[in-house]
Structure 1
């Protein structure tokens, strides 16, 4: 069976992770424990997640002309991801994320975007053809908004569905929302987009309705331990999360999005695809790291 084609446009980072008993308060120094250096970046995490679950993934991204960039390229190649549109930036370093994870698996993250902030649509002359060849396009918000808008515009004209993971949280234009097939905000992101404070299922539903009114066909609001709310065609449903003992939640949302894209490309109904994504995310939080935590297909089926 031919694998579905997913085009991921997004960020690449190197994650530098320190495990510690508690997250430091402003001005406080805490003594940490284990140090890990892993591949990260929302775009890269989602590309790896989808590839491990069976998708044929092409990844448009930009890294620095440095050791981190070369290491990322090799990692993607090892995962079977098409890196022919991985670009090297001669002026900016590769993106880096500094991550602290506490004993409760909570984290705080600071990102230096580096080359990610210099990924422009004009860098890719055959972008319309790349989009046309895809079954789905998956994006996040760690690259320039002008690039995201351009990709969404082209995909919309070519009837290629776009999934947007609107993280890190920020306001989005109606012009962008109108070009999306599916958006996957968490509670904070849903509030920023919709203006509705999300505190429970009812407020999540109101936020989802508002986002659909702004032009998005389908909304999936991730609610952490409560699962995910689906809103489509004026109908909603909660898909419960899977209870596990979490050790690191760093890339759970990225694994969720990569898995959701795979489920949709395999023609799963939306509810089934969300359930599939919840399973993948649940496995990921039982492991340290971002890309390293993404499960393989045989761990879910």
Structure 2
């Protein structure tokens, strides 16, 4: 079986809950503080690994307690960390997460996530990459390195997925090396200037994303599900109806499961169905990586719902 190879970020999330989001300059009471392994790259790698496919993570953490905890957790979830770097002079990335009414706000300090350069990524790919593998990236690592890594992955015959998060402009040469782009509503607006709030704007947004080069464009719409435009074909997937308590890793779960489904050879419709279910289960739980369900949990849910 081919593998999912993630080049991405690892952070220790410091998370706390409040009744509402504070106003500027305001201090309000909170509760439920905990530390939690996170980072888009790590979360997406965990989602892919929990889906039952071989998954490697290329990234960096500091030689500190948070780094130790992150690596230990990833290995426990089945992610292969052979090519994960430990930086001597830069600390592990940290994200401060404020949860309120099922929503969240995040402040990120990237730190070691910006330490790797393309020579480091190429060295790791030399070890783990094979033709037909899926290469998955986001934009929380060094930007120039990410753009160069996409070109390297594509040249190796890998299939590439990019989650344009946090959103920023990508050069034309980057788009030329992207097979699948996946964004949420806010990212979609930032990338193509169209907020997909109705049927017309959604179709225009998908067309605009596909026109940049990817053969498949996916927009996730929260409670409205997800929609893809793949080789000119529109694919819709409803969201799992759950009571959301923490959406921190739901989007990462969706993308990681889509990547895993590509490795497993599933049609995109089926991959999006599994991804939507997994993301909904994640949103119904508190936390990031520990909230992500296994393939067995998703399978059991779908069977109970009558969607075998």
TM over 0.5: yes
How far did residue 128 of structure 1 move? 4.4
- 1:64 paired residue among 62, 76, 86: 62
Q: Which residue of structure 2 lines up, in the alignment, with residue 149 of structure 1?
A: 147
Give distance in 1, aligned partners of 2:20 and 2:140. 27
Contact 1:205 1:229 in 2 (8 A): no
Q: Which residue of structure 1 lines up, in the alignment, with residue 302 of structure 2?
A: none
How far did residue 196 of structure 1 move? 2.2
Q: Which residue of structure 2 lines up, in the alignment, with residue 244 of structure 1?
A: 242
Give distance in 2, aligned partners of 1:10 and 1:54. 20
- 1:110 paired residue among 104, 107, 111: 107
- Deviation larger for 16-25 or 117-126: 117-126
Taking only aligned residues, the RMSD between alpha carbons, in angstroms, comes to 1.3
Give distance in 1, aligned partners of 2:124 and 2:64. 25
- Give the TM-score normalised by structure 2: 0.93
How far did residue 215 of structure 1 move? 0.7
Q: Equivalent residues in 2 for 1:165-184 (5 A)?
A: 165-184=163-182
Q: Please give the secondary structure, in 2, of the residue aligned with 1:77.
A: helix
Q: Which residue of structure 2 lines up, in the alignment, with residue 84 of structure 1?
A: 82
Q: Please give the secondary structure, in 1, of the residue aligned with 2:183.
A: coil
Q: Which residue of structure 2 lines up, in the alignment, with residue 285 of structure 1?
A: 283
Moved segments of 4+, more than 6 Å: none
Q: Which residue of structure 2 lines up, in the alignment, with residue 138 of structure 1?
A: 136
Q: Please give the secondary structure, in 1, of the residue aligned with 2:32.
A: strand
Q: Which runs of 5+ in 1 are unaligned?
A: none
Give distance in 2, aligned partners of 1:248 and 1:299. 18
Give distance in 2, aligned partners of 1:195 and 1:106. 24
- Give the TM-score normalised by structure 1: 0.95
Q: Which runs of 5+ in 2 are unaligned?
A: 300-308
Give distance in 2, aligned partners of 1:13 and 1:69. 8
Give distance in 2, aligned partners of 1:267 and 1:11. 26
Give distance in 1, aligned partners of 2:269 and 2:24. 41
Q: Please give the secondary structure, in 2, of the residue aligned with 1:300.
A: helix
Q: Please give the secondary structure, in 2, of the residue aligned with 1:8.
A: strand
CA deviation map 1:177-202 (0-9, x unaligned) = 11111010111111222122322232
How far did residue 91 of structure 1 move? 1.3
- Deviation larger for 150-159 or 174-183: 150-159
Q: Which residue of structure 2 lines up, in the alignment, with residue 299 of structure 1?
A: 297
Give distance in 1, aligned partners of 2:130 and 2:294. 27
Contact 1:14 1:37 in 2 (8 A): yes
Give distance in 2, aligned partners of 1:262 and 1:7. 10
Give distance in 2, aligned partners of 1:124 and 1:136. 15
Q: Please give the secondary structure, in 2, of the residue aligned with 1:184.
A: strand
Contact 2:185 2:221 in 1 (8 A): yes
Give distance in 2, aligned partners of 1:41 and 1:270. 25
How far did residue 258 of structure 1 move? 0.8
Give distance in 1, aligned partners of 2:37 and 2:216. 30
Give distance in 2, aligned partners of 1:125 and 1:158. 10
Q: Which residue of structure 2 lines up, in the alignment, with residue 126 of structure 1?
A: 123
CA deviation map 1:55-110 (0-9, x unaligned) = 111110100111111111111222222111110111111000000101x2111000
Q: Equivalent residues in 2 for 1:183-194 (5 A)?
A: 183-194=181-192
Q: Which residue of structure 2 lines up, in the alignment, with residue 211 of structure 1?
A: 209
Q: Which residue of structure 2 lines up, in the alignment, with residue 225 of structure 1?
A: 223
- 1:235 paired residue among 210, 225, 233: 233
Q: Which residue of structure 2 lines up, in the alignment, with residue 29 of structure 1?
A: 27
